Amino acid sequence: MQLQEQPAFTGRLAREHELVQAMIAVHCRDAHGSRTLCASCAEIAEYADQRLARCPFGAEKPTCAKCSVHCYRRDMRERVREVMRSSGPKMLVHHPWLAFLHEVVDSRRPTPELPRKRATS
């Protein structure tokens, strides 16, 4: 698998990126016994970054659970759900500040309206 250059995230998207990567790392360590990401988890991490970079909400991105846009392919959505199910509860132990920000700050933000596409001439 060829690794692509990671997009540079800032602000809210940087925190979302950090959270998703941490969840994948916790899942991989516990489920696959790996100190570094296995090929399967690395694929999920790269796909999550691609989706995050293309999020139509940008910095106003809601949490995935509250999002009106389903940007993940069905197969990847199931894999990410599995990661979140297995690592979510453990985030309070491994990454308490990220878990706090996600649960208390991000999940309480109102879901923005989807930006309208501009007409091209």
pLDDT tens digit at each of 121 positions of the chain: 445 555 678 888 888 899 999 999 999 999 999 889 999 999 999 999 999 999 888 888 887 777 788 889 999 999 999 999 999 889 889 888 988 887 777 666 666 677 666 656 5
Q: 0.85 exceeded by the pTM?
A: no
Q: How many helices (H) and strands (E) does the chain have?
A: 5, 0
Q: Residue 5: what pLDDT?
A: 56
Tell me the two tokens of residue 38. Answer: 């296995």
* Residues 71/51, Cβ–Cβ less than 8 Å: yes
Please report, for residues 72, 94, 115, 121, the alpha-carbon distance to residue 118 in angstroms, rounded to integers and kept in the order given: 23, 42, 9, 10
Tell me the two tokens of residue 42. Answer: 């690395």
Residue boundaries of the structural domains of the chain? 11-108
Q: Residue 48: what pLDDT?
A: 94
Count of positions (residues) in the chain: 121
Q: Residue 119: what pLDDT?
A: 58
